Amino acid sequence: MAGVSSKSLAAALESLEPKLATATTALARELFEILELLDSNAGLRRALTDPTRESASKSALANQLLAGKVGAQAQEIFLELVSARWSLARDLGDALEVLAATSAIAVAEGHGDGSANLDKLEEELFGFIRVVGSSHDLQRAFDDAQATDAAKGALAQKVVPGAGEVGELLVRQAATAPRGLKPTALVQRFVELVAKRQQRWIAYVKVTRGLSAEQLNRLQAGLNHLYGRELKINVTIDPTLVGGIKVVVGAEVVDATAATRLSELRRRLAV
């Protein structure tokens, strides 16, 4: 996905982020259900992404499509996608798949120790890739056009016994609706989305000189307070750094220009 579609997806993910704190697997399932409707009707995809069609007309079509099928939040998310611009008709479905998977992953992240839960989810997904990738019988079973979605979904669950609700949802989705990919390839994409969420739990810190154990503890406490979560700290030394400290958490860069946010951390690190 590139160009205007890439920008539309980025905007959709930004809009989704505030909703993820209360996301449920039900929301993710509903978004995947909408994706199934899109994938089953090429004419519908073209109509919803037609740049010459008015937004009100596309919204009306989307509302008609979803009436009584999904909840208000899933419908709202999809309507935002429909109102955006897409280079290709398929890009709308690809974006919806990313939002659905991201919603599911956020559910795992939001339970207890988010970082540990994401690690567990990632291992479950890698487990599916390893097992299926090493078995020609499983690969043929998932490729079998005569097998029902229910059968493929049940088989996917057996491949990763003991997987959590989110892991099970994602491998089932990959097994039943790989959308032109091998199931393992789609699960790999889901792994990449998990890794993206994990970056929110890692603080990459650059400082001008080495830190003592006490300073590192103060840095940890300060960053945890600043970001409201238990972060993993990765510290590197850069003597040329201006301002004494630079912090990157996820996509956010906090450096010396953001003095109001870093003044407290600098004070905590002072000898």
Q: Which of 179, 198, 217 is the last residue of a domain?
A: 198
Q: Which of 168, 198, 228 is the last residue of a domain?
A: 198
Q: Are residues 103 and 189 in the same domain?
A: yes
Q: Are residues 108 and 73 in the same domain?
A: yes
Q: Are residues 135 and 8 in the same domain?
A: yes
Domain that holds residue 75: 3-198
For position 91, what pLDDT does the model report? Answer: 96
In sequence order, the 6+-apart residues with CB closer than 8 A to the CB of 185 are 178
For position 229, what pLDDT does the model report? Answer: 74
pLDDT digits (tens, 9 = 90+) for 178-211: 999 999 999 999 999 998 888 777 788 888 888 8
Q: Are residues 59 and 188 in the same domain?
A: yes
For position 72, what pLDDT does the model report? Answer: 94
Domain count, the chain: 2
In sequence order, the 6+-apart residues with CB closer than 8 A to the CB of 104 are 23, 25, 28, 166, 169, 170
pTM for the whole structure: 0.82
Q: How far apart are CA 105 and CA 124, in angstroms?
A: 12
Q: Are residues 86 and 191 in the same domain?
A: yes
Q: Are residues 186 and 54 in the same domain?
A: yes
Q: Are residues 193 and 213 in the same domain?
A: no
The closest alpha carbon to 128, from 173, 74, 91, belongs to 173
CATH number of the domain within which 217 lies? 3.30.910
For position 158, what pLDDT does the model report? Answer: 96
Q: Which of 139, 174, 198 is the last residue of a domain?
A: 198
Q: Are residues 257 and 153 in the same domain?
A: no
Q: Are residues 169 and 240 in the same domain?
A: no
Q: Are residues 152 and 246 in the same domain?
A: no
Q: Are residues 186 and 210 in the same domain?
A: no
Q: Which residues of the chain have pLDDT under 70?
A: 111-113, 243, 254-271
Q: How far apart are CA 162 and CA 258, in angstroms?
A: 45
For position 262, what pLDDT does the model report? Answer: 54
Q: Are residues 221 and 133 in the same domain?
A: no
